[in-house]
Amino acid sequence: MDAAGEQRSAEAQLEPDRKGKSGWSAIEFFNRYGTGIFLVLVCAFFMAQNPNFLSLRNIANILTDVSIYGVIAVGMTFVIITAGVDLAVGATLAFASMFAAWLISKAGVSFGPPWLTALLASVAVGAIVGYIHGKATTFFNVPAFITTLGGMTIWRGASMLINDGGPISGFDEGLRWWGTGAILGVPVPVVVFVLVAAAGYIVQRYTRFGRQIYAIGGNVEAARLTGLNVKAVETSVYMIVGLLSGLAGFLLMARLNSAEAVAGLNYELRVIASVVIGGASLAGGVGGIGGTIIGALLIGVLSNGLVMMGVNAYYQQIVIGVIIVLAVAFDTYAKKHGR
């Protein structure tokens, strides 16, 4: 056989592989678009059960609810991309909001309008808590799961110590506006969520920091060998999720007109579920803000739709838990079969 014949024979043998790599893949399709498709189907189902499901008022309620934990989920996306996790976001939310409420209502401290003092205090406390988690994880080499599990207990207990575990309520109109007001008809918490998500998307896609978190999640040792300050980046992502937990705490207390030590219970479940359902891998290196937004919306739609159908609220936790397991199982399957 001449050289040309041998080349044609080799190309013929490689042709099936080329088609397999360039052809349509059901796994890849559902991995990329499955959550969005499921969200549309769930909306259609609830719409069929109750025509009021897609009313403007109910949509506003869903988006406002989603905004509170969605803000935290943006920060959690960065943490999970680095193969970390923060189980203390709900407790951080409660502690930051309780401290801010105590500062303006009990201590009488003010750096200007009460809402500004509360906002600055809440995000500052959240960032400090996140910094502590990040440093404990990186400096002492304690797994993030253990660090934040301990933090969840510590900050929840600290929240109870403020005001003897009782709520702090009765804020002025300026502060309540952040939870109940609207800008051009859009609830303020939704506007804040959109701005936070947009900033997170830009950081993730177009900045050096965004590339660094993917590098750490993909291969932490390789990232370290290239000269990347892994510990600094990892500490930063915990600071970000802590800061955003404080921001969410501020929005929640403004919406409820009350700061409570029990606020944010089970938020860690909703936040982590939003990120994982949105396509992020708990093994790190995979994920994005766009997917997280869809995941957060899916959880919000499920919770709202089940309530409108009169389903016991306890079943919501079961549904969300099952979805998390299925999402992780699919992620594992996709990796084994050529994601």
| pLDDT tens digits for range 163-183 | 998 999 999 999 999 999 999
Indicate whether 270 belongs to any domain: yes
Give the gyration radius of the chain's Cα atoms.
Answer: 23
Residue 163's Cβ-count burial label (10 Å; 0-12, 13-18, 19+) is middle
Q: Tokens 């988690």, residue?
A: 133
Q: Among 8-12, 76-80, 292-296, where is mean pLDDT lowest?
A: 8-12
Q: Which residues make beta-bridge pairs with 259?
A: 168
Task: Give 140's DSSP letter.
Answer: S
Indicate whether 9 belongs to any domain: no
Amino acid, res. 196: V
Joined tokens for residue 161: 């110590």
Give the mean model confidence (pLDDT) for residues 187-203: 98
**For residue 90, what are the contacts with CB-CB under 8 A and spacing of at least 6?**
152, 156, 245, 263, 264, 265, 266, 267, 268
Which 3 state secondary structure label does DSSP give 183?
Answer: strand
Indicate whether 55 belongs to any domain: no
The enclosing domain of 203 has a CATH number of 1.10.3470
Indicate whether 204 belongs to any domain: yes
Please state the domain count of the chain.
1
pLDDT of residue 11: 40
Backbone angles phi, psi at 187, to 5 degrees: -55, 140
Indicate whether 149 belongs to any domain: yes
pLDDT of residue 211: 96
Q: Among 27-31, 115-119, 192-196, 325-329, where is mean pLDDT lowest?
A: 27-31
Task: Give 227's DSSP letter.
Answer: T
pLDDT of residue 338: 56
**Span 301-316, pLDDT tens digits:** 999 998 898 888 788 7
Q: How far is CA 53 from the centre of its chain?
A: 24
Give the mean model confidence (pLDDT) for residues 42-46: 92
Distance CA 204, CA 217 (A): 13
The pTM assigned to this predicted structure is: 0.89
Indicate whether 311 belongs to any domain: yes
- Under 8 Å between Cβ of 129 and 238: no
Q: Among 224-228, 257-261, 331-335, where is mean pLDDT lowest?
A: 331-335
Distance CA 281, CA 285 (A): 7
Indicate whether 309 belongs to any domain: yes
**Span 198-234, pLDDT tens digits:** 999 999 999 999 999 999 999 999 999 999 999 999 9
Task: Give 168's DSSP letter.
Answer: E
Half-sphere exposure of 73 (CA within 13 A, CB side): 36
Joined tokens for residue 143: 């797994």
Q: Among 38-52, 223-237, 266-280, 306-320, where is mean pLDDT lowest?
A: 306-320
Indicate whether 54 belongs to any domain: no
Task: Please report, rounded to a whole number, the percentage of residues in the chain having pLDDT higher than 70.
Answer: 90
Q: Which domain does 294 fall in, by range?
A: 65-334
